[in-house]
Amino acid sequence: MGDCIFCKIVEGEIPSNKVYEDENILAFKDINPLTPIHILVIPKKHIKSINELKPDDEILIGKIFSTVKQIAKEQGISENGYRVVSNCGEDGGQEVKHLHFHILGGKKLGTKIV
Ligand code: 5GP
Ligand code: ZN
């Protein structure tokens, strides 16, 4: 949508390091990894944030979490554990206004989220 960076990644206009792709979902490595494993999982269609989710998106979101589980296994972090984060809006610190889920792992994370 417009000048959305993640829509451009979906369209291939901006390159990314893809780890998973299907008809509706794309996952790629974060350009600025905060942990040894830092992957973003996004719906291919432009949804601004959790706030814009509609009941029709429920199956998509379920599939995104099944994808998170699969990626975590492939990346070898399932057993040790990992964190899934979706920042929403101003106070949530959302910088890219296209719904995304961070998978953070590969090291022992802090116990506090904020
Ligand atoms: P947010 O702060 O919106 O939750 O997270 C946005 C994330 O997108 C950040 O972790 C940032 O590093 C990542 N990011 C921003 N632009 C790009 C890009 O062009 N390519 C990739 N792979 N990641 C990006
Ligand atoms: Zn977008």
**Which pLDDT does position 1 carry in this prediction?**
67
**Residue 29 confidence (pLDDT) above 80:** yes
Percent of the chain with pLDDT over 70: 99
- 46 noted as active-site residue: no
Residue 45 CA to ligand 2 center (angstroms) comes to: 7
**Which pLDDT does position 114 carry in this prediction?**
82
- 5-105: what CATH class? alpha beta
User: Token pair for residue 28?
Assistant: 């790629």
Percent of the chain with pLDDT over 90: 95
* This prediction's pTM: 0.97
Residues 42-91 have pLDDT tens digits of 999 999 999 999 999 999 999 999 999 999 999 999 999 999 999 999 99
Q: State which of 16, 31, 38 you would mutate to test the pocket of ligand 1, scoring each by most atoms of that ligand within 8 A of its C-beta.
A: 31
Residues 32-42 have pLDDT tens digits of 999 999 999 99
Residue 93 CA to ligand 1 center (angstroms) comes to: 12
